[in-house]
Structure 1
Amino acid sequence: MGQLHELEEFRLHAYETAKLYKEKTKRWHDKHIVPCTFTPGKKVLLFNSRLKLFPGKLRSKWSGPFEVVRMTQHGAVELKGKNIPSFLVNWQRVKHYFDKYSDRDQEDLELNDG
Structure 2
Amino acid sequence: MTKVSLREKLALFQNHWNPRIVGESNGRHVKLVKFQGEFVRHEHDAEDELFLVVQGRFRMDFRDRRVWLEEGEFPIVPRGIEHRPVAQHEVHVLLFEPVGTLNTGDAPGERTVLEPQRI
Q: What is the TM-score normalised by the length of structure 1?
A: 0.32
Q: Which has the higher contact order (CA 8 A, sep 6+)?
A: 2
Structure whose CA Rg is larger:
1
The structure that is strand-richer by fraction is 2
The structure that is helix-richer by fraction is 1
